């Protein structure tokens, strides 16, 4: 995982955010272009940490895996123009086109797997009654509430984004707040005061790498985002 995260970071960045849509919000019988067309204003996934973030409007690099979405042909309402997503020839191209629209200039990789995520027991059944046994959204709750969800479509992503600036800066502020010199056990465990301060400075420098789309030298190599 560490090496995989390294492949998504550059210009001094070392951290990526994990996100997921579990389950991926898909109506039964809908195609991937139809599903993503309904999310043109926002991405259909959530951050997996407790860090409270604002809407993700841009990123530097990301890798996304989607599994278990049905491969029905795209549909469109009469008189409705087809979106660029409906012109793609493969699910991978659909995802790439979606990311190109949502995050212009970002380096993105995508993979689509047909097999869904297995959620049969002992997987915890914490799902909404508005899910079918295959994990797709229903118009109304199932009549048989005891029916377990056997599988779900899932989207997972690792993303290097500017929002990590506030996460890392907040962590740095929390570490600076207490007076660690008053905690004798902290340093008797082998931590030196100078090493601790140096680590805080490195953390603050790392946070600054996510402050904008530019590296520490004020520019970012465009080849990294091609």
Same domain, 69 and 150: yes
With respect to residue 222, please indicate whether it lies within any of the assigned structural domains. Answer: no
Same domain, 58 and 135: yes
Range of the domain at 201: 165-209
Same domain, 76 and 121: yes
Same domain, 120 and 25: yes
Query: Residues with Cβ < 8 Å from 3, sequence gap 6 or more?
Result: none
Same domain, 180 and 149: no
**Coil, strand or helix at 99:** helix
pLDDT recorded at residue 24: 92
Backbone phi, psi, residue 124, to 5°: -65, 135
DSSP for residue 85: G
With respect to residue 223, please indicate whether it lies within any of the assigned structural domains. Answer: no
- Residue-wise burial string across 155-173, b where 16 or more C-beta atoms lie within 10 A, e elsewhere: bbbbbbbbbbbbbbbebbe
Same domain, 129 and 177: no
Same domain, 108 and 178: no
Same domain, 99 and 151: yes
Q: What helix, strand, coil percent values describe the chain, rounded to 5?
A: 30, 15, 55
The number of domains in the chain is 2
The string of DSSP letters for 118-187 reads: E--TTS-----TTB-TTS-B-SS--S-TTPPP-EE-EEEEEEE-TTHHHHHHHHHHHHHSS-GGG-HHHH
Same domain, 177 and 67: no
Number of H helices, E strands in the chain: 6, 7
With respect to residue 103, please indicate whether it lies within any of the assigned structural domains. Answer: yes
**Coil, strand or helix at 11:** coil
With respect to residue 111, please indicate whether it lies within any of the assigned structural domains. Answer: yes
With respect to residue 201, please indicate whether it lies within any of the assigned structural domains. Answer: yes
Same domain, 117 and 200: no
Q: Which of 118, 167, 213, 156 is nearest to 4 (CA)?
A: 156
Same domain, 146 and 174: no
With respect to residue 218, please indicate whether it lies within any of the assigned structural domains. Answer: no
Give the DSSP H/E element, type plus range, for residue 111: strand 107-113
Residues 110, 98: Cα–Cα separation, whole Å: 11
This prediction's pTM:
0.76
Same domain, 84 and 181: no
pLDDT recorded at residue 125: 87
With respect to residue 225, please indicate whether it lies within any of the assigned structural domains. Answer: no
226 residues of the chain, pLDDT tens digit each:
888 888 888 888 888 989 999 999 988 888 888 888 888 777 888 888 777 766 666 888 999 999 998 655 555 544 445 678 888 888 889 999 998 888 888 888 889 999 999 999 899 988 888 899 999 998 877 665 557 899 999 999 999 888 888 889 988 998 888 777 777 777 776 777 788 889 999 999 999 988 864 444 333 443 343 3
């Amino acid at each position: 995982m560490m090496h995989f995260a390294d492949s998504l970071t550059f210009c001094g960045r070392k951290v990526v955010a994990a996100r997921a849509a579990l389950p991926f919000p898909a109506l039964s019988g809908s195609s991937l272009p139809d599903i993503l067309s309904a999310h043109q204003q926002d991405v259909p996934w959530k951050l997996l940490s407790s860090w409270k973030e604002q809407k993700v409007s841009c990123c530097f690099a990301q890798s996304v895996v989607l599994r278990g979405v049905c491969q029905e042909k795209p549909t469109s309402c009469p008189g409705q123009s087809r979106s660029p997503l409906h012109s793609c020839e493969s699910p991978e191209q659909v995802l790439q086109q979606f990311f190109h629209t949502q995050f212009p200039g970002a380096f993105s990789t995508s993979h689509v797997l047909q097999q869904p995520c297995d959620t049969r027991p002992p997987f915890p059944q914490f799902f909404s009654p508005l899910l079918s046994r295959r994990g797709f959204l229903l118009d109304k709750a199932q009549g048989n509430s005891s029916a377990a969800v056997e599988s779900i479509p899932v989207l997972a992503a690792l993303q290097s984004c500017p929002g990590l600036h506030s996460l890392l800066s907040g962590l740095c502020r929390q570490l600076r707040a207490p007076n660690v010199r008053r905690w004798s056990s902290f340093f008797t465990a082998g931590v030196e005061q100078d090493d601790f301060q140096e680590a805080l400075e490195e953390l603050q420098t790392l946070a600054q790498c996510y402050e904008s789309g530019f590296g520490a030298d004020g520019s970012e190599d465009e080849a990294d985002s091609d």
